[in-house]
Structure 1
Amino acid sequence: MIFRVRWPDGAESDCYSPSLVVRDHFTPGTDYPVADFMDRAGVALTEASERVRARYGFPCSRAAGQLRTIRQICAGFLDRPDARVRVLSLESPDGKTL
C-alpha cells in the first residue's frame, strides 16, 4: 500500500507499507504533528513488517527502510512545534484510493 504525505515544507512523498495496516493508524486528509506522525508511522510500519515475518519468515526490509526515511525527514521539523504532516491519501496495491 502507498500512503501519500505532504511534509511541513510542502514537499510530497509516496510512502510504502507492505500491509494495509496503515489504515488503522492514518486517516486521509488529516494533519498530524510531526512527532505524532513519526510515532504512528513507527507503529504501523513495524506492525506491517511483522505481518510479513509471520507469513514469510523474515521482516520486510523495505518497510524498515521507509521508516528510516520518515524518521530522517521528520527530524528536520521536530524543532517546529506547529509543523504538521498531512496524510493525503491511502492507496491499495491495485491503485484504488481507500
Structure 2
Amino acid sequence: MRFHIRWPDGRAEACYSPSLVIKEHLDVGASYPLADFLARSRTALTIASDRVEAKYGFPCSRALGQLARIEAAARAFSDTPNPCVHVDAFEE
C-alpha cells in the first residue's frame, strides 16, 4: 500500500509499505512533529518488514528502503523550527 505525505516544505511524496500496519501508526489528515513521524514510520515499516521475513524468510527490502528514504529526506529539516509531516491519504 502507499501512504501519501507532505513534508514541512509542502513537497508531496508517495511512500510504500508492504503491510496495512502503517494504518495503525499514522492517521489520514494528521500532522505529526517530524521526530514523532520518524518514530511512527520506523516502527510501522520495521513491523512490516518483520512480517515479510516471518512469511518468506527474508526482510522486506522495499520497506527498509522506504524507511531509509524517509530518514534521509527528514535530515533536510533538521534546522527547521517545529517541522511537521502531514499524512494526506492511504492508497491500497
Q: TM-score range by the shorter chain?
A: over 0.9
Q: CA deviation at 1:78?
A: 2.6
CA distance in 1: counterparts of 2:10 and 2:61, whole angstroms: 28
One-letter amino acid of the structure 2 residue matched with residue 58 of structure 1: F
CA distance in 2: counterparts of 1:29 and 1:72, whole angstroms: 23
**Over 2 Å off, 4+ runs:** 78-81
* 1:72 equivalenced with 2:72 (yes/no): yes
Structure 1 segment 12-31 matched on structure 2, within 5 A: 12-31=12-31
CA distance in 2: counterparts of 1:90 and 1:78, whole angstroms: 26
**Structure 2: stretches of 5+ with no match in the other structure:** none
CA distance in 1: counterparts of 2:78 and 2:30, whole angstroms: 18
Q: CA deviation at 1:90?
A: 1.0
Structure 1 segment 1-98 matched on structure 2, within 5 A: 1-92=1-92
One-letter amino acid of the structure 1 residue matched with residue 34 of structure 2: V
Percentage of pairs with the same residue: 52
One-letter amino acid of the structure 2 residue matched with residue 51 of structure 1: R
CA RMSD of aligned residues (A): 0.8
CA distance in 1: counterparts of 2:40 and 2:47, whole angstroms: 11
Q: CA deviation at 1:53?
A: 0.4
CA distance in 2: counterparts of 1:32 and 1:81, whole angstroms: 14
Normalised by the length of structure 2, the TM-score is: 0.96
Say how many residue pairs are matched.
92
Normalised by the length of structure 1, the TM-score is: 0.90
